[in-house]
Amino acid sequence: MSADILSFIIFLPAVVAFGLMITTRHVETVRNIAFLATTVILALVLKIYIDFEPSAGMQFVTNVPWISSYGINYYIGVDGFSLTILMMIAILIPTAYLLLWDGRTKGYWINMLLVQTGVTGALLSLDVILFYFFWEIMLLPVFLMIGIYGFGDKVFTTIKVTVYTMVGSLLMFVAILYLGVSYFNEFGSWSFQYDSLTQITTLSYNEKIWLFLAFLSAFAIKIPIFPLHTWIMETYKNAPTGAVFLLSSIMAKLGVYAIVRFMIPIFPDIYVEFSTWFVFIGLFGLIYFGIAALMQDDLKRMFAYSSASHLSFIAAGIFSLNEFGINGALYLIIAHAIATGALFLLVGIIHDETGYKTIKDLGGLAKQSPIFTTVFAIMLLANIGLPGTNGFVSELLIIFGVYEFNHTLGYISALTVIIGASYMLWMFQRAILVKREAGEDLKFRDLKIKEIIGLTPWIILIFLMGLYPDIFINKFEPTVTHYLNDILQIGATK
């Protein structure tokens, strides 16, 4: 039974979603059932988190044939990396439900459930075809959400975001098949399991670089890493709050996760060889997106750039080739998901209530809504890495990592954190604190009790992770150490 618990977690939302699709119940019933399903998942994930042994191997593994003529298996399992992100997703989604609670339609909730299946499935897949399967599946509900519930030129936006991400995914698809064929030619049987693909030795240097880039294109577009980011601006601006939340705080993280899960073990030597470039690109993105965020007037766009900026930082950490960097990147994945997720949802509330989302139209919200302002401030400070919050720990670790990797780049990374602080605080001052310039004060409500309950676990996590990082890092550190020892050795010997 313990082995099937992961399958249950993956497919429960989809099954519930299909059930809800054919009912004619009222939207509130639909939402309540969907919410219930996510809390059941949260409970199960908590159980897994407690049962999980902090060691390097895969746990809760299920491995059954799916398409046996091509050696494709339904192969899922969880290790230190995926466990942390699984936990994050399980906590984030129900809270998001609480913040999105009112005024949504049936389809909105059904799509949210379907995304959860796709995301969790992609996270837990250890067979690359299965991973690809879920990777594509998670895009479709978001496509529908943006198209149906979005704003502005939503149809163009949906087509753009879909084609954009498909370009990456399909290139990755060819690379996956190429790897499968190489494995077949070398070992005489088909397999697409990530641990079999790591054993391929026949690939030439050039082939590896092409395959590496094909994989990277899929993940870099999703994250997004500079210069593959052009889709996010319109998307974050025109998409409904739920979709922005899912894209920025969950799916983008899966791009980072996938780099660690598949690319590093399969191409360790290329990873080592090109790491300098990617750290550099990561830091460039950090600065570029940071400056772009400074100049935004639209709140959602500003957070889009800020999110991209932090994700570039994560990418720099991943490629810094040491334990500090990778631990920090994983930690920042969580920290950023919480802070950015919450900020997008809070901006969603501002937009729903006032009808505005540009900084110059807003102002003076603090007076009318002290709780809202406090929560907003906490998320903001966590996002810019104030000591005591989880953002601080993660940024510090990454800066250590980059410093160890290359001193000069380390200094740059430490200095650029200032940019983040400046645009965030400047925005906070203009949009929330000072009096509104144009016209009368805006009517704005404070957070409801439901929303406060939803946000509480996040706030607790922010400080818990900030003050006692050990309890969390202990869970995934053995995996990271194992990874680095093995991979750096292989990378060095190849």
Q: Which range of residues in 80-88, 153-161, 417-425, 428-436 is near other proteins by CB under 8 A?
A: 153-161
Stretch in the footprint of other proteins (CB under 8 A) among 62-70, 93-101, 194-202, 412-420: 62-70
Token pair, residue 483, equals 């990874």
Nearer to other proteins, 106 or 261 (CB): 106
80 is a site residue for other proteins (CB under 8 A):
no
> Is the Cβ of residue 108 or residue 134 nearer to other proteins in the bound state?
134
Q: How many residues make contact with other proteins (CB under 8 A)? A: 37
User: Quick one: which of 65, 152, 227, 387 contacts other proteins (CB under 8 A)?
Assistant: 65
DSSP code at position 198:
T
Residue 240 Cβ, how far from other proteins at the closest point, in Å?
12
> Are 398 and 312 contacting, i.e. CB atoms less than 8 angstroms apart?
no
Per CB under 8 A, 69 contacts other proteins: yes
Nearest approach, Cβ of 151 to other proteins (angstroms)? Answer: 12
Regarding 151 and contact with other proteins (CB under 8 A), the answer is no
Q: Which of 13, 94, 141, 147 binds other proteins (CB under 8 A)?
A: 147
Q: How far apart are CA 122 and CA 132, in angstroms?
A: 7
CB of 352 to other proteins, least distance (A): 21
- Helices 106-124, 5-22: crossing angle, 10 deg rounding: 160
DSSP letter string over 261-304?
IIIHHHSHHHHHHHHHHHHHHHHHHHHHHHHHHHT--BHHHHHH
Pairing of strands 72-78, 59-67: antiparallel
Q: Looking at 292-429, which runs of residues are DSSP E strands? A: none
List the interface residues with other proteins, window 311-340 (CB under 8 A): none
Contact with other proteins (CB under 8 A): which of 49, 101, 151, 178?
A: 178
For the bound state, the minimum distance from the C-beta of residue 339 to other proteins, rounded and expressed in Å, comes to 31
d(CA 313, CA 223): 11
* By CB under 8 A, residue 434 contacts other proteins: no
The residue from 19, 33, 40, 133 that contacts other proteins (CB under 8 A) is 133
Q: How far is the CB of 123 from other proteins (least distance, A)?
A: 16
Given a contact cutoff of 8 angstroms between Cβ atoms, the answer to whether 222 and 315 are in contact is no
Q: How far is the CB of 258 from other proteins (least distance, A)?
A: 16
Is residue 181 involved in binding other proteins (CB under 8 A)?
Answer: yes
The burial class, CB within 10 Å (0-12 / 13-18 / 19+), for 384 is buried
Task: Please tell me whether residue 184 binds other proteins under the rule CB under 8 A.
Answer: yes
Question: C-beta of 167: minimal distance to other proteins in Å?
Answer: 5
Q: Are 420 and 339 in contact (CB under 8 A)?
A: no
71 binds other proteins (CB under 8 A): no
Q: Of 36, 67, 295, 415, which one interacts with other proteins (CB under 8 A)?
A: 67
Q: Does 291 bind other proteins (CB under 8 A)?
A: no
How many CB atoms lie under 10 A from the CB of residue 201?
A: 8
Instruction: Determine the Cα–Cα distance for residues 87 and 461; give it in Å rounded to an integer.
Output: 12
Q: What is the dihedral of CA 423, 324, 327, 52, to 10 degrees?
A: -150
Query: What are the φ and ψ backbone dihedral angles of 58, each rounded to 5 degrees?
Result: -75, 140
Pick from 40, 98, 144, 421: which binds other proteins (CB under 8 A)? 144
Of residues 67 and 492, the one with the C-beta less far from other proteins: 67
Q: Name the residue nearer to other proteins (CB basis): 14 or 311.
A: 14
Residue 152, interface with other proteins (CB under 8 A)? no
Q: What are all long-range contacts of 202-208, with beta carbons under 8 Å and residues at least 24 apart?
A: 207/178, 207/182, 208/267, 208/269, 208/270
Closest CA to 223 of 340, 65, 368: 340
Give the nearest distance from C-beta 162 to other proteins in angstroms: 6
136 contributes a contact to other proteins by CB under 8 A: yes
Q: How far is the CB of 30 from other proteins (least distance, A)?
A: 15
What is the rounded CA–CA span in Å between residue 76 and residue 258? 14
**Structure-token pair, residue 461:** 């996590």
- Residues forming contacts to other proteins in the complex (CB under 8 A) are 64-70, 74, 129, 132-134, 136-137, 140, 143-144, 147-148, 154-155, 158-159, 162-163, 166-167, 170-171, 173-174, 177-178, 180-181, 184-185
